[in-house]
A and B are shown apart, each in its own frame.
Chain A
Amino acid sequence: MIKLAAMFVFFFMIAVILFYTFLLVVSFIQLRRMYELDEWEPYEEMLDVSYTKPVSILVPAYNEEAGIFATVRSLLSIEYPEYEIVVINDGSTDDTLERLKKDFDLIPIKRVIREQLKTKRVRAVYRSRKFSHLFVIDKENGGKADALNAGINFSTYPYVCSIDGDSVIERRAFLKVMKPIVDSDEDVIASGGSVRIANGCDIEKGEVVRIGLSRQPLVIMQVIEYLRAFLMGRIGLSRHNLLLIVSGAFGVFSKQWVIRAGGYAHTVGEDMELVVRLHRLIKESKTNKKIVYVPDPVCWTEAPESMTDLRKQRRRWHRGLFESLWLHRRMWFNPRYGSIGLVSMPYFLLIEFLGPVVELLGYILIIVSLILGDIYIEFAILLFLVSVLYGSIFSMAAVLLEEWTVRKFSSVSDVVRLFFYSLTETLWYRPLTVLWRCEGIVDALLKRKGWGEMKRKGVSK
């Protein structure tokens, strides 16, 4: 029995490793070609307003009193020819609205809002007297998805981008993330950039002044995780239009398509769910639209620094993943949906969603075997070493890819630290996240609700 389970775990792991290796190779080839490409020249043309599509930036805010100023501030000085910023105050119970009114000198305006998506009632619309392209919508509380939908209703431009209330966008990120859309004559209907961890960086008034690596082991592990997820996973998936997640923290969508898809839905992982729905719509309407990921534009966001917050976040994410997958279970292994149905969905279902369960099983098996004593100790050690090394190789490969694309880390010591921490991942971080994600599955099955909000201290000084 144990042997059978062990074999199962073993082969599952092999399959996972193979899939990741495949993604790694794809990303590797893709990024290596563009290595050392000038980071500005390709985008210069984009600054011309006649060529570029205007974007409405949506910032949903629920009790973001602390961080909202910095976020809006950083958005006000982005380099993009034509855009508007729409902050949606989702019935905050703190002073978010007051703060905005004071900081940006808001005045109420009259606007005809075209209700293309159903939302909670909008109480008032404000415009800043300082910045004519800054608007604030005050509405009744309805959750993040509802806020975003209200923003979409209000927005006047053909593209929308949602930015989380406490993240900071690099100034040229919008030009970079919009480039595939403009380049493809709008065949690309959604485009996402990278999300990186702001902890450890110096951010002043919404501008990243110095990029650094946090001293906190927990944060460093997340940095590695993000690098792996974005640079390896998404490039590989994006290449074959398999992308299922355009980060909620930073992604641009065609408004028309979002509306056709019915807007954001009230799920935990509303961003992933929307992307899945867009894919579904693309396939069902038999068009040739694409969803892509661009590694270069970066959005900096705050990562949880305590175990409790991280645990909450991971549980929520996993529940979100489950909801998105469950809602679209018709797509699983469904050839009608092409590669999305046959590759992406199974990948997310089996590897991303169920992987932790299998892994947990593996851990249990090891412990049980150790207790029962029917395990060759050399064999166990070697197996363990293989998994440590493999994990580290993936991590370091991700750092390598980072070096070839965005090259944000400047010091050698950062790389050295990333290396040594990546060696320890299997020892503590991996089992922990596996455990939390399994808890997430339990939550999902028990339909436990709740936001599990993280305690924010604000990224900006």
Chain B
Amino acid sequence: MDRYEKYRQHFLKNIRKRLEEWETVDEIAHQEVYRLLHSIAGTAAMIGMTNIGNYARQLMEQWGEDEQKKWKVEDVKERLTPLFQLCYEQQIGDVTEGERGTKKGDEPTVLLIDDDPSFLMYVKEQLEQSGWYVVAIADPVKAVASFYDVRPDCVVIDIHMETKTGFEVLTFLKQKLKQQFVPMIMVSIDDRKETRMKSYEMGADDFIPKPFEIDEFIVRIRRQLQRKQLIDELLLLDELTHVYNRKYIKQAYEQLKSDWHRTHEPFCLAVLDIDYFKRVNDQYGHLIGDVVLKQFAQFLKTNVRARDIVIRFGGEEFVVLLPATEAAEAFLVFDRLREQFERMTFQSGDATFSCTFSTGIVEVNDPTKPIGHWIELADSALYEAKNTGRNCVVLAKQQKASHRRTVKVAIVDDDAIVRAIVTDVVQKMFTKEKVTLDLRAFKDGEQFMSSDWHDGKEPCLVILDGVMPKMDGLEVLQQLRNRKDSARYKVIMLTARKSENDIARALELGADDYMTKPFKLLELEARIRHMLKRMN
């Protein structure tokens, strides 16, 4: 969501780097400290960290520029502590996608929830040195909300927090997780027996009193992470193929569902089945059959995208979940896989043979429906694939006769920048809508009126500039209103004219709404949204 997150990251990293550099020298010239402050003051405000900028500016004013002083690292650190605290608060206040991006690969993720920033800052740094990916969130409410984004392998919760107690967080997470195992570690200054007991009772996996020795803390977390890995393997991995087993499918579905609520991006579910697997078993024996299964699973795991989830559903049937993927895209993915797999050869004694597989794909565009529904649809597609000769990919019926509504939106304006802005706004809005968008921009009324965009019967939204060369907005409006299918069109006039008469005239001629330039993006969005509702 927050687009300057990556700049913040970068910004903070730079500051940290500078401090690290200073660690290695004996003294630091005042000018250098001043320069750092200056760059902080300059950048911070720009990337939405106003309070940090202000603070840096205050310090600059206090210290002045021309002092001949030399600084010791400790002094700098001490004097700048409040500033860094601010930086960290800011950072950990906003855990978002951006931060997740810095996760490199498979390293375990630890979620720290504590409203004491200095604690967070310290522990985070220490834990990161152990090679873990650490997400520190100061606000428990936010932490709970972003749980699915973070997908932690271990959660550390402070019991005493202002807005929510650690117990509440714990209870909530436990409820949410149900079948999934994520170890929870409670920390607290309050080391009474009751507190400890309550923690364990409520399902905490460990309790660590504050203050603690950091090395011990790390060891205890590592132990929890190892447990988690072990249990995961035991619980959710298929023994033979080492891909997820059937039990995982629900959890994975929940995960995707939560993504969907955030991004509204459709995802796909594919059911794969090795063709004539029975024959392989019969002909070469079960051992070879297992090898085929193993290699097939391995083949899938290495050839799908990193985010895709491979599950052995049972026997020779596999399910692959493809997040943020449309049916058409998924089709391409599996068709490619199909071709690759076809060429793979298996060895049994002297005999070489190859296998093929069939796929049924369904695009999940409404995750409120249970997973079973989708598997069923994908299964019937698979059935069809088998019937049409195997070794092919079939999209579920529902996808072909797409029940997604199409909405046509046109932007007619002679100002290229307005076109770009409005296009951007509309596109962004529609990633969240359950409709297909046919968006076009026109530079004048004539180009618009003579376009084939009008063909069809879909509802049309026209965002129309009032003053244009060749054919101006009012005339376009009139022509639209004179069409037989005039009811299809909703028109928002966008006018720079400061004359009320023109607006009155536009409304008179049948504009549904109007906006004057300069306009607010939010207002534009709200008006478009309102119009779309009326178009239903």
The answer to whether A and B touch directly, with their CB atoms under 8 angstroms apart, is yes
A residues bordering B, Cβ < 8 Å?
47-49, 73, 76-77, 79, 81-82, 130-132, 171, 204-207
Complex Cα distance A206/B498, Å? Answer: 24
Interface-centre pick from A77, A204, A207 (highest chain B CB count, 10 A): A77
CA distance A79 to B469 in the complex (A): 9
Instruction: Knowing A76-B475, A130-B475, A132-B505 are in contact, say whether A49-B470 is a contact too (CB < 8 A).
Output: no
A130 — which chain B residues lie within 8 A by C-beta? Answer: 474-475, 478
Residues of A within 8 A of B467 (CB): 77, 79
Partner among B446, B497, B498 whose Cβ is within 8 Å of the Cβ of A205: B446
Residues of A within 8 A of B352 (CB): none
B470: which of A47, A77, A132 is its contact (CB, 8 Å)?
Answer: A77
A217 to chain B, nearest CB (A): 31
Q: Residue among B467, B470, B475, B505 with the most chain A CB within 10 A?
A: B470
CB distance from A229 to the nearest CB of B (A): 28
A81 vs B469: C-alpha distance when bound (angstroms): 15
Q: How far is the CA of A357 from the CA of B83 in the complex (A)?
A: 88
Bound: A130/B472 CA distance, A: 11
| Bound form: Cα–Cα A132–B506 in Å | 11
Of B471, B478, B499, B505, the contact of A77 (CB 8 Å cutoff):
B471
Please measure, in the bound complex, the distance between the C-alpha atom of A48 and the C-alpha atom of B496, giving whole angstroms: 10
Please name all residues of chain A whose beta carbon is closer than 8 Å to the beta carbon of B446 when the two chains form the complex. 205
By a CB distance below 8 angstroms, the chain A residues around B474 are 130-131
Size class of the contact patch on chain B? 10 to 19
Residue B15 at the A interface, CB < 8 A?
A: no
Smallest beta-carbon distance B520→chain A, Å: 20
Q: B509 — nearest CB in chain A belongs to which residue?
A: A130
Residue of B nearest to A47 (CB): B498
Please, which residues of chain A bring their CB within 8 A of the CB of B471? 77, 205
| C-alpha gap A81/B497 in the complex (Å) | 7
Please measure, in the bound complex, the distance between the C-alpha atom of A206 and the C-alpha atom of B179, giving whole angstroms: 71
Cβ–Cβ < 8 Å partners of B470 in chain A = 73, 77, 204-207
29 chain-A/chain-B pairs, Cβ below 8 angstroms: A47-B496, A47-B497, A47-B498, A49-B498, A49-B499, A76-B472, A76-B475, A77-B467, A77-B469, A77-B471, A79-B467, A81-B497, A81-B498, A81-B499, A82-B499, A82-B501, A130-B474, A130-B475, A130-B478, A131-B474, A131-B475, A132-B505, A204-B470, A205-B469, A205-B470, A205-B471, A206-B469, A206-B470, A207-B470
B173 in contact (CB, < 8 A) = no
Q: Could you tell me which residues of chain B, from 426 to 485, have a CB within 8 Å of some CB in chain A?
A: 446, 467-472, 474-475, 478
Name B's interface SS: loop
Q: How far is the CA of A2 from the CA of B471 in the complex (A)?
A: 64
Q: Tell me how many residue pairs across A and B have CB atoms closer than 8 Å.
A: 37
Whether A207 lies near B499 (C-beta < 8 A) is: no
Residues of A within 8 A of B478 (CB): 130
What separation, in Å, do the CA atoms of A438 and B446 have in the docked complex? 48
List the 3 closest pairs (A to B, CB-CB), nearest first.
Answer: A207-B469, A205-B470, A77-B472
In the complex, what's the smallest C-beta–C-beta distance from B137 to chain A, in angstroms? 49
Binding site for A on B (CB under 8 A): 446, 467-472, 474-475, 478, 496-499, 501, 505
Shortest beta-carbon distance from B130 to chain A in Å: 60
Kindly report which residue of chain A lies nearest to residue B500, judged by CB atoms: A49
Least CB distance from A15 to B in Å reads 46
Minimum Cβ distance to chain A for residue B483 (Å): 15
B153 to chain A, nearest CB (A): 59
Instruction: Please name the residue on chain B nearest to A171 by beta carbon.
Output: B469
Alpha-carbon separation in the docked complex, A90 to B498 (Å): 35
CA distance A77 to B475 in the complex (A): 10
CA distance A49 to B503 in the complex (A): 14
CA distance A171 to B472 in the complex (A): 12
* Cα distance A204–B471 in the bound complex, in angstroms: 11
Q: Which of B469, B472, B497 has the most CB of A within 10 A?
A: B469
A82 to B501, CA, bound (A): 9
Query: Within 8 Å CB of B499, what residues of A?
Result: 49, 81-82
Least distance between A73 CB and chain B CB atoms (Å): 8
**B468–A77 touching, CB < 8 Å:** yes
Question: Please, which residues of chain B bring their CB within 8 A of the CB of A171?
Answer: 469
* Complex alpha-carbon distance, A48 and B498, angstroms: 6
Measured CB to CB, the closest approach of chain B to A211, in angstroms, equals: 14
Q: Cα distance A186–B482 when bound, in Å?
A: 43
Please give, as numbers and ranges, the residues of chain B lying within 8 Å of A73 by CB-CB distance: 470
Which A residues touch B497, using CB under 8 A? 47, 81
Task: Identify the closest chain A residue to B479 (Cβ).
Answer: A130
From B468, which residue of chain A is reached at the shortest CB distance? A77
**Bound-complex Cα distance A349 to B505 (A):** 52
| A-chain residues with CB within 8 Å of residue B472 when the two chains form the complex | 76-77
Measured in the bound complex, the distance between the Cα atoms of B445 and A77 in whole Å is 11
In angstroms, Cα B501 to Cα A402, docked, is 38
Q: How far is the CA of A346 from the CA of B392 in the complex (A)?
A: 94
| A57 vs chain B, min Cβ distance (A) | 15
A48-B474 Cα distance, complex, nearest whole Å: 20
Collect the chain A residues with CB atoms within 8 Å of residue B496's CB: 47
Distance in Å: Cβ of A103 to nearest Cβ of chain B: 11
The smallest C-beta distance from B398 to any residue of chain A, in angstroms, reads 47
Q: How far apart are the CA atoms of A131 and B471 in the complex, in Å?
A: 12
